[in-house]
Amino acid sequence: MIFRLLLSLLLLQACGHKNHPPKQAPKEPTISKTKILKPEQVTSQKPKSQKPSFESKISPLPSKEKPPLPLKEEKAIPPQDHLLEADRLYKEKKYEEAESSYQKAIEASNELTAEASFKLGLLYYDQADWNRAIIYFTESYDLSKKFAQQAKYFEGSAYYAKRYREPAMEAFKTAIQLNTTSALTAASKNFLNRLENIEEKKWSYVASFGYAHDTNLTLVATTGLLNDPEVSNATSSSNNFLFEPTYKKSFGLENFFSASYLLYVSWQWNRNHRGYNVYRQGLSSSIQMPWHLGGEVTTTLKGLADFTMAGINQGQHEQTDEDTRTLSVHEDLFLIHEVSPFNNFKVGLPLHFGNYDFKSGHDAEDRDSLVYEAGIDGTYFLGSKQKWASLGYLFLKDHTAGITYDAYHHKFTYGFFHPFFAKTFFKFYGSTIRKLFSNNADNRNDLEYTFQNSLLGTLGTFAATTSLTYVKNSSSVGRYDYDRLLVAFNLTKTF
């Protein structure tokens, strides 16, 4: 028993020493040396990581605004690529697209302007647009000698096609002097020799036979040009013959003088079951002088003088009571200013002054007139000028027998010219004209529609034309309200 008590005391003493170690004396505090950091070292130290707060664990709501798209860098097309693309389109005869690419090459690089201008001239040359071809050949020649001989050779060929002898000879002479390519030099000598040995054709003749059927015959107004057309509301038909010899003489580059005699006869002209023979003969002369003012700006001055004798003789029916002869002198002066601000678009500024003096005939004094016209029109061409549309405005003042008439025309025209088969061509023309008359002209307000279809066939110097024309005029004045259908056929010989 005593032994068990002693053993328990020993175990209790051992457990007490293990749980309560002896206390040690506290150590004296020591101050450690701190390392001083430089400013740049402070900023480079990483901050101690902290536990994220509750708010930082919540992700923000997505923004409704779309982030801006990154800008794409547009690569500029090298000018040479425009030129190569134009050459490819030109070979494929896609003239309109090739023309645009050549223009881009001209705008993109001064170094390529001479080559692109020359090739643009060739493009117009292939389409028989001689005037534009000459402009670009001249520009290419002035800019660089690389294409100088070629430009002068084709410039001479374009003038040759226009039958302008003197400027063609000058261009071929320059091409021979340059002598860059032996083949072009030989060809230029050949053309020059031909032009020097062949006399310029000064006389030409046109003869025409035709038939016309008109459902609403147009009459010539006895007073005032603005009263035209006045109609008789009668169907008519006629056979006609025209003969016109013309003398033409060029001087300078593109200036020429021409004079012609006209004989026109219409027989078996039936109207209201009455027969007439109508004739007209006269002499006319004109001078035309165009000036190229740089680029595609052209001003043309044209003067025309016409001395005409016309009349209606008694026909095959005795009841015909009309027998009249008219002698008149007309002088006209035209000034046309044309500008092409960009491809396939042309702006025209026409001015016209006319004096119509009736020496004899029915109411001759009442038919004398002075006419002034001024206007502006813009024309847009599609393709090689085979399709076009034009919008214009014309102001006209007519002074007849002491009375002044004013007119304002708003005109829209359109049409196309397209090969049909072989050497046959189809042509369509349409126009819509709003005509406003004032100042002693009954304050007329007319709307005129015109549609014309024609089929032209050529064989050498012969040409056959069939045309169908429909005109409808709605007017606020009854006697000018009409519609008209004209069918005509003509066979023409030029020699």
Domain boundary among 180, 197, 214: 197
Buried-exposed string 76-92: b where 16+ CB fall within 10 A, e elsewhere: eeebeebbebbbebbee
Residues 241, 360 within the same domain: yes
Of residues 81 and 414, the one with the higher pLDDT is: 414
Question: Peptide bond preceding 229: is omega within 30 degrees of 0, i.e. cis?
Answer: yes
Q: Considering only 213-222, 255-264, 290-299, which range has the smallest mean pLDDT?
A: 213-222
Residues 394, 300 within the same domain: yes
Residues 367, 472 within the same domain: yes
Dihedrals phi, psi of 317, to nearest 5 degrees: -110, 135
Q: Which amino acid, residue 479?
A: R
Residues 289, 336 within the same domain: yes
Classify residue 134 as exposed, middle or buried by CB count within 10 Å of its CB (0-12, 13-18, 19+).
Answer: buried
pLDDT at 54: 34
Query: What's the pLDDT band for 314 if we cut at 50, 70, 90?
Result: low
Report the pLDDT averaged over residues 292-309. 82
Q: What is the pLDDT of residues 160-174, one digit of tens each?
A: 888 778 888 999 999
Of residues 168 and 108, the one with the higher pLDDT is: 168
Q: How far does CA 111 lie from the centroid of its chain? A: 28
Using an 8 Å Cβ cutoff, are 256 and 250 in contact? yes
Residues 436, 320 within the same domain: yes
For tokens 């009442």, the residue is: 366
Q: What is the pLDDT of residues 58-82, one digit of tens each?
A: 334 344 444 454 444 445 567 677 7
Distance CA 459, CA 292 (A): 35
Tell whether the model's pLDDT for residue 408 goes beyond 50: yes
Compute how many other C-beta atoms are within 10 angstroms of the C-beta atom of residue 396.
19
Q: What is the pLDDT of residues 203-224, one digit of tens each?
A: 899 999 999 888 876 544 333 3
pLDDT at 71: 45
**Structural domain of 145:** 79-197
Tell me whether residue 44 is in a domain: no
Mean pLDDT for the chain overall: 77
Helices 165-178 and 182-197, axial angle in degrees (round to 10): 150
pLDDT at 227: 38
Q: DSSP label at 225?
A: G
Distance CA 444, CA 248 (A): 42
Q: DSSP label at 132?
A: H
Report the pLDDT averaged over residues 439-465. 86
Tell me whether residue 371 is in a domain: yes
Nearest to 131 by CA among 175, 161, 176: 161
Tell me whether residue 394 is in a domain: yes
Compute how many other C-beta atoms are within 10 angstroms of the C-beta atom of residue 105.
27
Distance CA 330, CA 282 (A): 11
pLDDT at 132: 83
Query: What's the pLDDT band for 265 if we cut at 50, 70, 90?
Result: confident
Q: What is the pLDDT of residues 118-135, one digit of tens each?
A: 999 999 898 888 888 888
pLDDT at 57: 38
For tokens 């005032």, the residue is: 224
169 bridge partner residues: none
Tell whether the model's pLDDT for residue 420 goes beyond 90: no
pLDDT at 363: 66
Residues 210, 173 within the same domain: no
Residues 124, 253 within the same domain: no
Distance CA 227, CA 366 (A): 13
Report the pLDDT averaged over residues 390-395. 93
356 bridge partner residues: 330, 369
Report the pLDDT averaged over residues 487-491. 94
Tell me whether residue 460 is in a domain: yes
| DSSP assignment of 98-124 | HHHHHHHHHHH-STTHHHHHHHHHHHH
Using an 8 Å Cβ cutoff, are 226 and 396 in contact? yes
- 37 to each of 32, 44, 464, how far by Cα in Å? 16, 11, 108
Q: What is the largest CA-CA distance in the chain?
A: 186
Q: How many domains does the chain have?
A: 2
Distance CA 407, CA 221 (A): 16
Distance CA 348, CA 299 (A): 10
Query: What's the pLDDT band for 439 if we cut at 50, 70, 90?
Result: confident
285 bridge partner residues: 259, 305
3-state SS, residue 443 = coil
Tell whether the model's pLDDT for residue 280 goes beyond 60: yes
Using an 8 Å Cβ cutoff, are 282 and 309 in contact? yes
Distance CA 413, CA 137 (A): 32
pLDDT at 342: 72
Tell me whether residue 41 is in a domain: no
pLDDT at 220: 44
Using an 8 Å Cβ cutoff, are 242 and 206 in contact? yes
Residue 161: which CATH number?
1.25.40.10
pTM assigned to the model:
0.66
Distance CA 159, CA 421 (A): 29
| Residue % of the chain over a pLDDT of 70 | 72
3-state SS, residue 151 = helix
Residues 211, 101 within the same domain: no
- 178 to each of 173, 188, 196, 464, how far by Cα in Å? 9, 11, 20, 45
Distance CA 185, CA 174 (A): 10
Tell whether the model's pLDDT for residue 35 goes beyond 70: no
Domain boundary among 197, 223, 252: 197
Give the best-scoring range by mean pLDDT among 173-182, 313-322, 432-441: 173-182
Residues 161, 286 within the same domain: no
Domain boundary among 197, 228, 258: 197
Tell whether the model's pLDDT for residue 451 goes beyond 90: yes
Report the pLDDT averaged over residues 98-109. 84
Query: What's the pLDDT band for 437 if we cut at 50, 70, 90?
Result: confident
pLDDT at 243: 95
Q: Considering only 32-41, 352-361, 419-428, which range has the smallest mean pLDDT?
A: 32-41
